[in-house]
Structure 1
């Protein structure tokens, strides 16, 4: 079954470029192309969209605002695709529920892989973007997490996630199975009320807030 996509970008050339590249792959079905975030959010509310690819800077409603509306009202997963790696956009998009953040300069295959990963329930944050999150939050951190909320193992995993380690890397470092790591992450998400692992990193680096 093809992954149903929406593409939103105020640049018609970019929209059509993504439509052509992704539309040539039988794994994807392009449902709609929107010229701004307002149109994108409305379409997602009224149709079953698997993954929405959103630009950040768009008229009427930008990608960050559209992300909040889409994630609050639909099951659509949002992948931010942008030429801007500004910290403000990164943090706000993730806080609003975006499950992926990639720069448009990535090759088509990497963008396709990211779409598949989001569709499968994973989070995809490009390394350069994640590094900016860590630098920005660490430099402004002014308080500490309440460790009493977590077990010792849970806190070790929180710290590992904040260093950008994958579940496989965490399992090797802590000598536990990947399944056990996943179970601990689920417990951490439940305790914090967060939605995904990138928010766990922000939570840790920002001293207990997202």
Structure 2
């Protein structure tokens, strides 16, 4: 069996710079969204020239697509940590808690809405769409299992539950609670998970 050649120093530096670029975009998309983000801001955040940025991504759309695809990779990795003996409802709660933590720490880019100029581009970007479909299929199975177990209202369409879960890390309540300074990150996460799955009724 042939061992693949190790990447050169130049290739490793390129990969590290690309990772730094995507980290910066995570923060910018989390803070202001795609439409307000500029390539100049990305280059400045990373500390590279705009020309160097374009060697990695030749458009803002491709940059956002790479960032969102990486987010889905991270999410699928988190999903893969779940075990078969975990209840479906606990898996869903874990994923919501993790996604809210990612948002609080500036690693959760804002999902493209149907009104965003990036939405149509993302829906044509096959790597993103394929990963989104994979994640949706997994979560759909968890939702059905949780409904059958009586942990989620079975009268709710699966799409309603799915989009509710997808929207939680983008909930402005998280930012308001964080800015208020009265709650720790753990308390905010617990509050978002509780209201997501239990509503406002007493436990």
Question: What is the TM-score with the length of structure 1 in the denominator?
Answer: 0.28
Highest RCO, 1 vs 2 (Cα 8 Å, sep ≥ 6)? 2
More helix by share: 2
Q: Which has the larger radius of gyration?
A: 2
More strand by share: 1
